Chain A
Amino acid sequence: MTPQEIYDNLKAKFGDAILEAKLDALQPWIRIAPERAKDIALFLRDEQPFQFDYMMCLSGIDYNDGNLGVVYHLFSMVHKHKIVLRANTSKENPRVQSVSSVWGTANWHEREAFDMFGIIFDGHPDLRRILCPDDYPGYPLRKDFKVPEFYNGMKVPY
């Protein structure tokens, strides 16, 4: 299926949860509402013409304008087509619906996005830090992150 068809189908089914799309970019993307992420993901994974059963990557991103985003790169092993989904949330209250029950691999990817950006994934079974220590202050990959001077009483050298 072409990205245009995917967009049309999604728009027809989910209406206003599909916010915008840029289908002439290098890799066409569709922006979705963060609180409907799981429903859209389930639809994309299970419906016959789509069958996006392979989630290649899930990344967090800080747009430096008060928004955080989650980018999903999906692929279908059956039909061999790809699509990119985006979900933007605000930095004050970053909540995205978790897709870890749809694709098992999202579990660890979402934990990493939480660890690095502070994005809370609703419905995630085990949302805790994965790479940084459990008591690390702050979310490192945010653009306004300042390295703490002291961590647990030790002076941070750099």
Chain B
Amino acid sequence: MNEPKVLPTDYVTKPGEFKTSTGKTLRTDEMIINMGPQHPSTHGVLRLEVVLDGEIVVDVIPHIGYLHRCFEKHAEHMTNYQQVIPYADRMDYLASMNNDWAYALAVERLLNIVVPPRVEYIRVIMAELQRIASHLIAIGTYGIDMGAFTPFLWCFRDRERILDLFEMTCGARLLYNYIWVGGVSHDLPPGFVEKAKDFCTYFRPKIKELNDVLSFNEIFIKRTANVGVLPKDVAINYACSGPMLRGSGVNWDLRRDDPYGVYDKFEWEVQIGKGEMGTVGDCWDRYMVRVREMEQSVKIIEQALAGIPEGNVQSAIPKRIRPDRGEVYVRTESPRGELGFYVVSDGTASPYRIKARSPAFVNLSVLPEISRGCMLADLVAIVGSVDIVLGEVDR
């Protein structure tokens, strides 16, 4: 029989070591585990390298780029500014209308054209419907991350109604190519206004149902309150925007504070996180900001539907888009935050440089800061509350 190994007992205890009662030292190691790129809860192809000490997360290193599709390089080779719109759709594929609108706004500001009021109202309606659809996915998938499978299907059922409205208008369910530079591609079909009003009356009680089943569920609150707290100054320093910023208590919404479109004609409230269930800026606050934003969006849609003027939606679409030399940075409020386009034109018909500042890319960079010291299950909660879409992160 082998002699049992005699371990030396006169080591000085180094960090990561543990001295037992008999004087021997055991070395504890941190485990590096890989979440993704294929993983049910990283919402796409995101690779998280997690350094774990037992169940406690010591560090998180996100690796992105698995969905990089060279949007900016493609845009430079387009022969027409309108041709970039399908590419912009595909960046944040869950909120295409908002992507199109941000890009169209940027080019319109370069060209200095004013779109007809009917177009502005249509754009607002589409963007707000898209905001509801995107938030429904965010909420549903967040529920699934927490283990509640049912709200996910309820959210998708409601989202189908919105997608039906979009299909009625432009024929597509996910990637619309609808909002063009100078207008929209098709006018609203007959029956759209009534169907949209029906949707608004249908949807309001559904939000209440969602709150009963998920938002105020004791277990859900326990999983998300006080988890991943993002302090206000860190949020601003890391340029977080959208529900991430508002969840931390900052009263900032681009639709009200840096207005574009006709948002100033409507009455609605900016939702901020107040720390009702825990600290201000935890996952529950961000989640609840999204739920409450959906209600506000319904309000905006109803007001817009009531006040939409008549007109020709294609009257301002320029035949040839050839802006002067110049550059502009325009930002809009997409469901995930501040979506900005920096467009540089050199006087020709094709863009010189387009940089898309995507909210998910910037919001994701704050992940290592807020997830140190949490448990692995909390990491899933935090990633879910950032609400990333990898198409936007990687472009």
| Closest 3 pairs between A and B when the two form their complex, measured CB to CB | A105-B239, A59-B355, A131-B65
Known contacts A26-B110, A61-B353, A104-B366; A56 and B331 CB within 8 A of each other: yes
Determine if B384 is an interface residue (Cβ-Cβ < 8 Å).
no
Decide if B70 is an interface residue (CB 8 Å cutoff): yes
**Inter-chain CB contacts under 8 Å: number:** 83
Tell me whether A140 and B329 are in contact in the complex, defined as CB-CB below 8 angstroms, given that A103-B237, A104-B369 are known contacts.
no
B residues with a Cβ closer than 8 A to A are 64-65, 68, 70, 72-73, 76, 109-110, 234, 236-239, 250, 252, 257, 326-329, 331, 338, 340, 342, 344, 353, 355, 357, 361-362, 364-366, 369, 394-395
Q: Which residues of A contact B76 (CB under 8 A)?
A: 141
- Whether A54 and B342, one on each chain, are in contact in the complex, defined by CB atoms closer than 8 angstroms, is no
How distant is the Cα of A66 from the Cα of B50 in the complex, in angstroms? Answer: 41
Q: How far is the CB of B342 from chain A (nearest CB, A)?
A: 5
Q: Cα distance A141–B338 when bound, in Å?
A: 23
Report the separation of the CA atoms of residues A25 and B109 in the bound assembly, to the nearest whole angstrom: 12
Contact call B64/A131, Cβ cutoff below 8 A: yes
Q: Contact between A57 and B237 (Cβ–Cβ < 8 Å)? A: no
Contact A105 B326 (CB under 8 A): no
Q: Which residues of A contact B250 (CB under 8 A)?
A: 77
Answer whether A55 and B342 are a contact pair too, CB < 8 Å, given A108-B365, A130-B65, A140-B73: no
Known A26-B327, A132-B68, A141-B73; contact A77-B238, beta-carbon cutoff 8 A: no
- Name the one of B64, B72, B329, B366 contacting A57, with C-beta atoms under 8 angstroms: B329
Contact (Cβ within 8 A) B355 A57: yes
Question: Least Cβ distance of A140 to chain B in Å?
Answer: 6
In-complex Cβ contact of B234 among A62, A104, A116 (8 A): A104
Chain A: minimal CB distance from B109 (Å): 7
How far apart sit A117 and B238, CA to CA, in the bound complex (Å)? 23
* B236/A53 in contact, CB under 8 A: yes
